[in-house]
Amino acid sequence: MLFSFLRSRRRRAIAERPFPSAWHDILRRSVKPWQWLDAAEAETCRRWLAVFLAEKRFEGCGGLAITDEVRLCIAGQAAIVTLGLGDEWFDSLKSLLVYPGDYLVPRTTPLAGGVELEWKEARVGETWSGGSMALSWPGVLDGGRLRDGPRSVVIHEFAHLVDALDGDIDGVPPLPVRDVAGWRERMSAARERFERALDEGRSTAFDDYAAESDVEFFAVASECFFQDPHRLARHDAELYALLQTAWRQDPKHRVPPRPSRDR
């Protein structure tokens, strides 16, 4: 109890410190969605970001130098997705490892005769047990500047963190117990609609990697929810409403519509 009180007091003190003007410039340049926040949302994000930066360790890998732009581009995207989550600073997350490009992860698969095939797989982001998150800096920057459509590796990995808050990474965010069964049923139906569209060659709102599992479906759909909410709502209003429940916000009210790219 005492520790919780002292931590809350320390966080309030951090959140109330003056925000460097240079940070505002970086956020406007590198995290385009910050341009669309109203005054109250911007203040909430600013306070969250200050605490997050004070508490998390950023480590450059492969020769990448950790600059304010690197830290703010990551934390700025994370702050927006946590707008509806209150004082959630992801205490289980201790460090963020940032690579200068895609990084390679060893993979193996068993073959006949008891041998294994080994190879290295390129990744742009991953959340590891033990409190670390790995991110590709070009992927982070592309997501912040909306260069890659509805994709954002930061949003994707933080969706996994939110998914894990109830103790399981299963594609179900923290919800009242009475709502979990209904959530699973409706998300399963949304995933079936998505996979049917893929099978029929129709346009979809987000990347086909979402078909990998329930876990990835939630994370990839969440990317689109924040990056291009009008597109997601056009494709699947039911899924959009489910994600509103999960994230406790409605990005459509602040994100300007983009010209339709649907085929």
Q: Distance between CA 66 and CA 53 in Å, rounded?
A: 12
Question: At residue 233, does pLDDT exceed 70?
Answer: yes
Report the C-alpha gap between 230 and 255 in whole angstroms.
8
pLDDT, averaged across the chain: 91
CA dist 67 and 252 (Å) reads: 32
What is the structure's pLDDT at 253?
94
Flag the least confident range among 22-26, 99-103, 114-118, 172-176.
Answer: 114-118
pLDDT for 182-211, tens place per residue? 999 999 999 999 999 999 999 999 999 999
223: which 2 tokens? 């990317």
Residue 105 pLDDT > 70: no
Per-residue pLDDT at 84 exceeds 90? yes
Q: Which residue, 73, 43, 218, 222, is CA-closest to 147?
A: 73
Residue 49's closest CA among 7, 21, 84, 78? 78
Cβ–Cβ < 8 Å for 179, 167:
no
pLDDT at 5: 79
The answer on pLDDT for 83 being more than 60 is yes
pTM: predicted TM-score of the whole model, two decimal places: 0.92
Confidence of residue 104 (pLDDT cuts 50, 70, 90): low
Q: Which domains does the chain have, with CATH numbers?
A: 1-106+119-148 (1.10.472.150), 152-258 (3.40.390.10)
Cα R_g (the chain), whole angstroms: 19
pLDDT score at 263: 42
